[in-house]
Amino acid sequence: MRRGEGFLLVPRNRVRHESPIASTCHLPLFSNMSYFRDKLRGIFQVKDTPHRIAMAFALGVFMGISPLVGLHFIGAFFLAWIFRLNKLVTLIGASINNPWTIVPISSLCIWVGAKLTGIKKVLPEVDWGSLTLTGIVSKLIDMDNFILILKKMTPLLTAFVVGSLVICIISAIASYFIIHSLATRYRNIKNAE
């Protein structure tokens, strides 16, 4: 080894090849980040004004966090159709509420709703020892028990609805300004090229 070369782990004449398995294996976190980056880039390439792109995304975020559980995508698509906004951008905004984020978003909404409404106890007492699937089904089938369960769950549902409305309004406004700023910056960079 000559002076100044340092220690080489791989000789220079050997080419390092990646195995086909290693090239297809990705850590889920990093593959999701590139997925979201590609979707964000796709949003900005839509042939529309930054205002309309931001409005479509904000509408999607609003519907994605709204308390209409199970109707997020249908509602977002319907509102995008009514307001003649880009449906794909709206659905991407609505996908903020997905299987990975539904628990944290719903928990935050319930916490905010409980703080705003002053509800101290959100969940009713549950006897976990006697809880069975057949017991749950039999109680839900009986209409009197179903109404009793709804009455006990009223504080939780109230906190969820109030918190969801507050969080979805704040998130939609914030996402509008963020997406509008990024879309404008992206258009300026593309026009300069």
Asked if residues 50 and 175 have their Cβ atoms less than 8 Å apart, the reply is no
The reply to whether 60 falls in a domain is yes
Q: Is residue 129 a part of any domain in this protein?
A: yes
Query: What Å distances lie between residue 72 and 53, 66, 97, 106, 181, CA to CA?
Result: 19, 7, 8, 13, 25
Does any domain span residue 86? yes
What band does 77 get if pLDDT is binned at 50, 70 and 90?
A: very high
* pLDDT-derived band at 45, boundaries 50, 70, 90: confident
| CA neighbor of 53 nearest in space, from 64, 39, 36 | 39
Give the range of the structural domain holding residue 181, as residue numbers without chain letter. 45-192
| Model confidence pLDDT, tens digit, residues 167-193 | 999 999 999 999 999 989 988 888 887
What angle separates helix 87-94 from helix 72-82, to the nearest 10 degrees?
Answer: 150
Compute the distance between CA of residue 158 and CA of residue 153 in angstroms, rounded to an integer.
9
Its pTM stands at 0.71
Lookup result for tokens 């977002």: 76
Give the total number of structural domains in the chain: 1
* Within a domain: 115: yes
